Amino acid sequence: MPAPLRDLRTPPGTPATTIRRWETTMTASTLRDDTGTVTCWRGTGQIPWQWGRSVVALGVFDGVHRGHARLLAHTVETGRRRRRPVVLATFDPHPATVAGPRRDTTPLTGLARRVALAHDHGVDAVLVLPFCDTMARTPGVDFVREVLVRALRATDVVVGANFRFGHRGAGDVRLLRRLGPRHDFAVHGIDLLPGCSSTRVRELLRAGDPAAAAEVLGRPHRVVGRSVGGLFRTDTMLPGPGRYRVLVRGRETVGEVRPDGTAFLHAPLPAAEIEVTFLDRAAPPTRVPRPTEATS
């Protein structure tokens, strides 16, 4: 029988973790302040003892695209109506990297970016569940009991209509609805937006079409990485090889994505962590004719 997930709460005064937008892990602060932070717990053990009942959105939310935005809007509306905080419960790494059939799960957004986008959509706190073999083997019923009921004390659970969880993906909306009355939470299964998925965004980026990917995301595709002498490396997904119009530090320039998964930015940049926003394909470079060609 799988080992139980760690059950929940830390004593009062134990710091949580917050992620400041575009930066790495910071120390604890209030839920919302003028610095633009959002509380982020890494595992149920970091949830404060005094945290009350929550309205919970559950899923991976890679890319936080328009379909995710609709689900989060419903979650936030429910939380405000119930006067309860809204928590996004997500997984890191992507569950498909640990269990299930292998498929492309190159991240569209890093964890810090995902948390910041959740904050933009009105989420009060993010619970990051480290996805490992133990969690992959945890039956759906146990996951509900340990995470949604004991850790988050959910009043409502909001998921995409096709969301699966638990050992071998056996948990779904039907299981949640069966368990909801027993554990005093309501279940909201949100229908998918046609053609709107993280997989579709990856397909469009791989095809070299960041403009079409932006229509699915609801914003241009932005990645964070490190630039050294114009060479840009990132752990998140780049478009397929080619030339692109990009924004770097508020200025438009050209970026060339190479087959090895790196990019070269045609801009003077210091060695630093930077954000690169991919807008569209760039026109091919203009060929300057040689003097003999110009006069022939």
Q: Give the pLDDT score at 36.
A: 53
What is the Cα–Cα distance from 17 to 117, expressed in whole angstroms?
Answer: 17
Least confident of 26-40, 66-80, 254-268: 26-40
**What confidence tier does 28 reach under pLDDT thresholds 50, 70, 90?**
very low
State what percent of residues in the chain have pLDDT above 70. 83
Query: Is residue 5 over pLDDT 50?
Result: no
CA distance linking residue 149 with residue 140, whole number of Å: 12
Using H for helix, E for strand and C for coil, what is the string for the chain?
CCCCCCCCCECCCCCCEEEECCCCEECCCCCCCCCCEEEEEECHHHCECCCCCEEEEECCCCCCCHHHHHHHHHHHHHHHHHCCCEEEEEEECCHHHCCCCCCCCCCCCCHHHHHHHHHHCCCCEEEEEECCHHHHCCCHHHHHHHHHHHHCCEEEEEEECCCCECHHHCECHHHHHHHHHHHCCEEEEECCCCCCCHHHHHHHHHCCCHHHHHHHHCCCEEEEEEEECCEEECCCCCCCCEEEEEEECCEEEEEEECCCCCEEECCCCCCEEEEEEEEEECCCCCCCCCHHHHHC
> Which residue would you say has higher pLDDT here, 111 or 283?
111
Side-chain-side CA neighbours of 74 within 13 Å: the count stands at: 17
Topology at the third CATH level for domain 17-190: Rossmann fold (3.40.50)
**Residue matched to tokens 């009043």:** 155
Pairing of strands 231-233, 221-228: antiparallel
pLDDT of residue 156: 98
> Which position has the higher pLDDT, 85 or 93?
85
> pLDDT (tens digit, 9 = 90+) per residue, 149-168?
999 999 999 999 999 998 88
CA-CA-CA-CA torsion sign (91, 96, 98, 3): positive
Residues near 260 by beta carbon (within 8 Å), at least 6 away in sequence? none
**Residue keyed to tokens 């924004």:** 247
Region 278-284 average pLDDT: 92
Q: From CA 23, how far away is CA 13, in angstroms rounded?
A: 24
Let me know: does 282 contact 257? Beta carbons within 8 Å.
Answer: no
Q: Could you tell me how many residues make up the chain? A: 296
At residue 283 the predicted structure's pLDDT band, cuts being 50, 70 and 90, is confident
Higher pLDDT, 24 or 263: 263
Q: What is the pLDDT of residue 20?
A: 30
Q: Where are the domains of the chain?
A: 17-190, 209-281
Task: Indicate the range of 14-18, 34-38, 176-180, 267-271 predicted with least confidence.
Answer: 14-18
Q: What gap in Å lies between CA 174 and CA 144, rounded to an integer? A: 13
Q: Which pLDDT score, from 0 to 100, does residue 292 have?
A: 59
Q: What is the pLDDT of residues 114-145, one digit of tens each?
A: 999 999 999 999 999 998 888 888 999 999 99
Higher pLDDT, 10 or 217: 217
Report the mean per-residue pLDDT for the chain.
Answer: 84
| pLDDT tens per residue, range 35-74 | 456 789 999 999 998 899 999 999 999 999 999 999 999 9
* Range 173-189 average pLDDT: 97
Q: What is the pLDDT of residue 221?
A: 97
Please identify which residue in the block is written with the tokens 């996951």: 143
Please give the pLDDT value at position 293.
53
4-8, 21-25, 159-163, 181-185: lowest mean pLDDT where?
21-25
Cis peptide before 194, with omega less than 30 degrees from 0? no
